[in-house]
Amino acid sequence: MKQALICFLTAVLASAPVMADRLKDITSVAGVRSNQLVGYGLVVGLEGTGDGTDFTSKTFRNMLNNFGVAIPADIDPQSDNIAAVAIHANLPPFAKPGQTIDVTVSAIGDADSLRGGSLLMAPLKGADGQVYAIAQGNLVVSGFGAEGADGSRLSVNVPSVGRIPNGASVERAVPNAFSRGDSLVLNLNRSDFTTARRVAEQINGLLGPDVASALDATSIRVRAPRDSSQRVAFLSVLENLEVDPGMEQAKVVINSRTGTIIVGQNVKISPVAITHGGLTIAINENIDVNQPNALAEGETVITPRTGITVDENSGRMFEFAPGPTLSDIVEAVNQVGAAPGDLMAILEALKQAGALKAELVVI
């Protein structure tokens, strides 16, 4: 009976699911990436919330000249219904001419709001100065603002920034090295030697020896077919492989602004005794007013009175046994009842003492 129970438990443990990730979730193909586009244009149709600055009027004048409309030099075409804007977008990999992408439009002058405006045709250029998309369309602005005659103002979100879904048409494809050479390189999203080795072993176990080799902690070179259609099918198989990634480096992350503390799984502390006490000083400023009698000729005297209270809390000492686990650390902190600010000070002191076996990251 005992042997049968042991065999049953062994089978259950062997069939337990492993915390594995797909290659498509932890890697990317080298050279296959998005590209940033940027442009400059005009938003028109605003209800008096534009900027009407000098460079906006010059841009408007140049645009009318391109349409054959000449404005006399002594006329300044300033208008509060026009705003100069910066346009930016991400061009995804393998985007082809005729496809559309989303764009974000941001005021660069003193426009109060872009709500209700329309972006006129504007080219979007890449880092090489070439035009890769043309943007135009009606803006979607989530924020709004209101201003009173007395100068009071109410603003919700950011009304000077808007988006145009599918607002740019791709005009040029970005060349990439996806179909070049006899191999491709997979880059890990998080560099780790153990994970890189396991990825190479998993691919070789499926496709044969020497198909994949780990170049470093980030890159794995994989021999791939030259034909582009075969390479697509090849990557489709690879990206669905599941790999058990290596354990993350032991880290303790502290957000000093919000008081959030994240303790990683592999964090350990050497044997150490800790005590932490708090000193609170409260200062109260009160003013005493002494007035003379009604028939007296004295003057009213104002006497400031300051009260100072000092409260020192006695800190409790607790001891960590050799090599405590994450649950031991959490249990000890909860027993002491340390606040997030106190715990930050304790962790920093442990790191300075060399007792914290983890990287301390303060953001």
Domain coordinates in residue numbering, the chain: 35-170, 177-243, 251-362
Answer positive or negative: Cα dihedral of 88, 92, 94, 96.
Answer: negative
* Among candidate residues 240, 233, 232, 207, the one with its CA nearest the CA of residue 222: 207
Cα(289)–Cα(284) distance, integer angstroms? 16
Cα(1)–Cα(59) distance, integer angstroms? 88
pLDDT of residue 283: 45
Pairing of strands 183-188, 212-214: unpaired
Beta bridge partners of 280: 311
Cα(274)–Cα(347) distance, integer angstroms? 10
User: Tokens for 190?
Assistant: 């998080």
pLDDT of residue 313: 57
Q: Kindly give the confidence (pLDDT) of every residue in the chain, 363 residues in length, as a single tens digit, with 9 standing for 90 and above.
A: 333 333 333 333 333 344 688 999 999 999 888 999 999 999 998 888 888 777 787 788 778 777 777 777 767 667 788 889 999 999 999 999 999 999 999 999 888 889 889 999 999 999 999 999 999 999 998 865 555 555 555 556 678 899 999 999 999 999 887 888 889 999 999 999 999 999 999 999 999 898 999 999 999 999 999 888 899 999 999 999 999 988 888 888 888 777 787 887 777 777 767 666 654 445 455 666 677 766 666 677 777 665 555 455 555 555 656 556 656 666 666 666 666 777 777 778 878 877 778 888 888
pLDDT of residue 73: 73
Secondary structure (3-state) at 77: coil
pLDDT of residue 311: 52
User: Tokens for 156?
Assistant: 């919700």
CA distances from 278 to 107, 340, 341, 350 (A): 49, 13, 11, 17
DSSP assignment of 140-199: B---EEEE-TTS-EEEES-TTEEEEEEEEEE-SPPP-STTSSSEEEEEESS--HHHHHHH
CA distances from 15 to 18, 214, 285 (A): 9, 29, 70
User: Tokens for 287?
Assistant: 């003013």
Q: How far is CA 74 from the centre of its chain?
A: 49
If you ran DSSP here, which 8-state letter would residue 321 be given?
P
Q: How far is CA 330 from the centre of its chain?
A: 28
pLDDT of residue 48: 84
Start-to-end CA span in the chain (Å): 56
pLDDT of residue 155: 58
Residues 6 or more apart in contact with residue 78 via CB below 8 angstroms: 52, 53, 56, 57
If you ran DSSP here, which 8-state letter would residue 216 be given?
S
Residues 6 or more apart in contact with residue 245 via CB below 8 angstroms: 21, 26, 190, 192, 194, 195, 198
Cα(179)–Cα(234) distance, integer angstroms? 12
Cα(352)–Cα(358) distance, integer angstroms? 12
